[in-house]
Structure 1
């Protein structure tokens, strides 16, 4: 389910920004982007995301900007610099030539410039609090999107129900049309009308082959189940996937048994509506 949330927090430790965004995905796929100072909290952040989210490709990013005063606390290891200079003099004596170097090259040497040890615990605690707030906002946004998708599914389901009623109402008309068709065909062939009982028997056999009451009943049952699933307070995406497969199976059978153009058209309309519902349920967790 697509959603987005962004939060920012400031303190004596600096500025933190957390962003969450998601796109449709069959499973839960987490992608985290953290600065070096927050790398140690990746596991805790991943656990919080997994506890609140069940589906979607989730992109979580944390950005950190230290306080402006932090750059003034750099120190230089003078004893290390002195040792480097003495080593350079020794190399010059061995090479018999003057080695060219400058202060920047000395500063690049590991350990020459040192930052004071920092207590990152307050920063990590603040980052986790901010992440939890962002996740909460993200979940609320997804719930709002889910409610809109549920409304769309209910609209399609209502249209499916109308088609089921229409096809069921065609059953008696279809039998009457078949009876008239048989009689007209017999008249064309110049065959004397058979025993009425035999004609009804043949009609019953044809009607049995074309009977779609079972498929219509199952469609009604699936509509009831769909409404029940939409009312659950839990992830329902995979259950909806399975339910759409069942809807589609009944629509295919209905189309294969159709004996008139109106039922065939209804079966096609059913498939269109079911496909629209299936596309929407891919966005639901």
Structure 2
């Protein structure tokens, strides 16, 4: 089944305490790579989030953004260093008595000193929040997957069109190939006849033609090329991820096309090979976006 690696999904879930927003964006990648950007308090469920994503995304690079809003996301607590504050208070009184300094220590003096008193923020990390994040993640990744499937349908149509054109070109080369040897034989005999005025050893000519025929024989390459086309068509219907297999088949077809181009001693076949390589280049670009 053709599934694109490009997609996007977004989900927003609101409760009495929290508002959770999750965005999932996927692009082409050789392997399955997931990057999650989220608040620190959710790090303990990062593995659960990635597992949820891996249930639906088999290949590609996924960027996941998780944003949380709400009063329950952070709790604040006042921390007081009582021991240090007590020492500070004693020093103030001792200094006042020793140097006969007038004045009183006010509450404002204490509150303004960050050494004694500071506000500590503590992450909520509640079970409710974690469940909301996992729900929103699943909704977002399902939207992303649906977009990938939809785009895959269009990709499949293009692939079938390209591979059909490729198959047609291969058939045309197969029709032309047998005439290349016979045409060479006629040219060779005509040239020799002109040089020796009709007296020549036909056996040597046939030997030369046989050697030439063996040298430019492309039947084996054409057979393998047709086999790869057949495998390509069959793979398009597989239910498992097929991107890597299709990419490998395109590489193999390109190798066969290069061999045919180097062996064929015919301008018509050369033109057909150019068309075949052009189609293979298009297929290569298309399959690189398939999961």
**TM bucket, shorter chain:** 0.7 to 0.9
Q: Which runs of 5+ in 2 are unaligned?
A: none
Task: Please give the residue correspondences for 1:138-177 in structure 2 after superposition, counting only pairs within 5 Å.
Answer: 138-177=144-183
- Per the alignment, residue 88 of structure 1 pairs with 88
Query: What is the deviation of 1:173?
Result: 2.7
Report what 1:55 is aligned to: 59
Q: Does residue 280 of the first structure (1) align with residue 286 of the second (2)? A: yes
Q: Deviations over 1:135-170 (max 9, x none)?
A: 111111111222222222222211211211111111
- Find the aligned partners of 2:41 and 2:250 in 1 and give their Cα distance: 47
Aligned-pair RMSD on alpha carbons?
Answer: 3.0
Q: 1:188–1:41: structure 2 CA closer, same or farther, 3 Å change rule?
A: same
1: CA distance between counterparts of 2:133 and 2:267?
A: 63
Report SS of the residue matched to 1:25.
coil
Is 1:10 matched up with 2:18? no
Contact 1:9 1:17 (8 Å CA) reproduced: yes
User: Shift of residue 260 of structure 1?
Assistant: 1.0
Structure 2 equivalent of residue 259 of structure 1: 265
Structure 1 residue 221 displacement after superposition? 0.8
Question: Alignment partner of 2:34: what SS?
Answer: strand
Change (3 A) 1:114 1:180: closer
Following the alignment from structure 2 to structure 1, what is the Cα–Cα distance between the partners of residues 95 and 190?
117
Number of residue equivalences: 279
Which residue in the other structure is 2:200 paired with? 194
Higher relative contact order (CA 8 A, sep 6+): 2
Structure 1 Cα separation of the partners of residues 272 and 219 of structure 2? 14
Structure 1 length-normalised TM: 0.85
Q: 1:183 aligns with which of 158, 167, 189?
A: 189
CA distance 1:94–1:42, change in 2 (3 Å) = farther
Question: Is 1:81–1:106's contact at 8 Å kept on the other side of the alignment?
Answer: no
Matched, 1:218 2:256: no
8 Å Cα contact 1:183-1:193 kept in structure 2: no
- Cα deviation for residue 201 of structure 1 reads 4.3
Partner Cα separation in structure 2 for residue 134 and residue 108 of structure 1: 46
Q: TM-score, normalised by structure 2?
A: 0.83
- 2:50 alignment partner in structure 1: 46
The change in CA–CA distance for 1:193 and 1:224 in structure 2 (over 3 A counts) is farther
Question: Following the alignment from structure 2 to structure 1, what is the Cα–Cα distance between the partners of residues 73 and 246?
Answer: 53
Are the counterparts in 1 of residues 81 and 116 from structure 2 also a CA contact under 8 Å?
no
